[in-house]
Each structure stands twice: as structure tokens, then as C-alpha cells.
């Protein structure tokens, strides 16, 4: 069951001017959404971080390798010094 936290503006027709959300209501909405978040455990966080770092290192190696190979090929074709 969803909880309506939108306040007064939820009931107004779309043609009427909408009022701004108060800072207090905005804060309550943020806290309500953060309660729904499934936060990763420390083990999950370490695993995800390791996977991302390994992937980034692999991509850096691929880009460096391609850059070096293409640079070498360009120098061979066009005769650099």
C-alpha cells in the first residue's frame, strides 16, 4: 500500500496553479524514499568496488594498447622521426 506524501498538490486538477513543496515536506519525502533503499552490505560493496576497478584497469590496458599500436602504425606509414 502506497502512502501519499505529496500533500495538498496531489488533489488539485492539472489546470490549476500548483504550489511549491515546503522544505519540511521535501525532507519527509526524501527520508521516506531512503527507507525503501536496499543498502549493500560491506561484503557486497567490496565485491562491487573490486569488480569495477578490475574492469577499469582492463579497459585502460585495452585503450593504451590500441593507442600504442595505432601510434606505431601511423609513424611507420607516414615516416615519423
User: Residue 12 half-sphere exposure, CB side, CA atoms within 13 Å?
Assistant: 11
Please give the chain's pLDDT, 81 residues, in tens. Answer: 556 666 555 555 666 777 888 999 999 999 999 999 999 999 999 999 999 999 999 999 999 999 999 999 999 999 866
Q: How many CB atoms lie within 10 A of CB 28?
A: 14
DSSP secondary structure of 20-74? PPPHHHHHHHHHHHHHH--PPPHHHHHHHHHHHHHHHHHHHHHHHHHHHHHHHHH
Predicted pLDDT at 18: 77
| Domain ranges (residues) in the chain | 7-36, 40-81
Amino acid at each position: 500500500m502506497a502512502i501519499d506524501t505529496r500533500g495538498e498538490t496531489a488533489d488539485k486538477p492539472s489546470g490549476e496553479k500548483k504550489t511549491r513543496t515546503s522544505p519540511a515536506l521535501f525532507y519527509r519525502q526524501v527520508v521516506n524514499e531512503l527507507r525503501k533503499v536496499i543498502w549493500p552490505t560491506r561484503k557486497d560493496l567490496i565485491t562491487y568496488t573490486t569488480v569495477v576497478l578490475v574492469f577499469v584497469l582492463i579497459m585502460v590496458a585495452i585503450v593504451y594498447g590500441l593507442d600504442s599500436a595505432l601510434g606505431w602504425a601511423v609513424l611507420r606509414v607516414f615516416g615519423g622521426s
